[in-house]
Amino acid sequence: METSWSELSFDIAKEIEKQIMPLFGKEEAGKVVGTNVSGDVTDYVDRVSENVVISRLSPLGINIISEEKGFIDNGGEYTAIVDPVDGSYNFVSGIPVFGFSFAIFKGNRPIYGSIYEFITGNFYEGIPDNGAFMNGERIRVRKPEKGKEALSFYSRGEFPELVNKVKRIRVLGAIAVELAYLARGALDGVVDVRNYVRYTDIAAGVIIAREAGAIITDDSGKEIKLRLNATEKTNIVAVNDQELLKMVLEVIERGN
């Protein structure tokens, strides 16, 4: 089974793509059809895409942890933690930054992660201790250039000093995709200090970015340990360099 995760995740992503892309940017996609396990609203596009995931994984006996329904116990030794459409607000609004996030655990150990960008068709993969890839080609974080950092930074108005410490701030609205961009060298860091992101949002991205050389901690500098949990929230500081990590954590500490 472990050698087929790439094929399985890509096939699921393409099936979701087939189902949802006719809805891209349309009001119907954002119709509220319920609430998820965290109490947030479930949009129609979230329901459609999650149904694809469940229909493909459940017959294989793979447990599922998703943003909408939480833990689905199918009695298997493998568990998939997924966000079928990371960046669903972007999708509903017609903003072309969103993707499919898929991570596999054997027991509590991550063994595979992938992110598929629906608009570009880029397919990112991470295999612990074996590297990170985009469309089959190995990727690495870029070497940082002092004074030229580009950081994706989410806060609720806290830590404004950080904005002046880097050259560019990006807020793209799809943290899994942004972690993939960090992995391939398009960003220098992804920081979210709103106590907002769930492990369904970041599991695959953390696997991929780490394999590409990123350093990933919480806002106190403690290494993030991925959890099989759909509701617990965390902060994340993911960067391509130890000095950048030090700077971000110092700004956060001064702001507390």
Same domain, 100 and 18: yes
Element (H, E) at 61: none
pLDDT at 1: 41
Question: What is the CATH number for 187?
Answer: 3.40.190.80
pLDDT mean over 211-228: 96
Residue 89 lies in a domain: yes
Question: What is the CATH number for 107?
Answer: 3.30.540.10
Element (H, E) at 110: strand 109-117
pTM for this predicted structure: 0.95
pLDDT at 39: 63
Same domain, 77 and 122: yes
Same domain, 113 and 8: yes
* Residue found under tokens 């447990």: 63
Examine the pLDDT at 24 and tell me if it is beyond 90: yes
Q: Which domain holds residue 213?
A: 150-255
Residue at which a domain ends, from 103, 138, 173? 138
β-pairing, 123-127 with 150-154? unpaired
Element (H, E) at 43: strand 41-43
113 in Cβ contact with 204 (< 8 Å): yes
pLDDT at 40: 74
Examine the pLDDT at 242 and tell me if it is beyond 60: yes
Which one has a higher pLDDT value, 207 or 69?
Answer: 207
Examine the pLDDT at 14 and tell me if it is beyond 50: yes
Residue 144 lies in a domain: no
Lookup: tokens for 142: 């870029």
Burial of 164 (0-12, 13-18, 19+ CB in 10 A): exposed
Instruction: Give the pLDDT confidence of 41-90 residue by residue, as tens digits.
Output: 788 999 999 999 999 999 999 999 998 888 999 999 999 999 999 999 99
Residue at which a domain ends, from 138, 169, 187? 138
Q: Tell me how many domains the chain contains.
A: 2
Instruction: Give the pLDDT confidence of 85-124 residue by residue, as tens digits.
Output: 999 999 999 999 999 999 999 999 999 999 999 999 999 9
pLDDT at 256: 60
Same domain, 36 and 119: yes
pLDDT mean over 203-224: 97
Residue at which a domain ends, from 113, 138, 163? 138
The rounded mean pLDDT for the chain is: 94
Least confident of 28-37, 138-147, 197-206: 28-37
pLDDT at 38: 67
Rounded to an integer, what distance in angstroms lies between the CA atom of residue 244 and that of residue 256?
A: 19
pLDDT at 67: 82
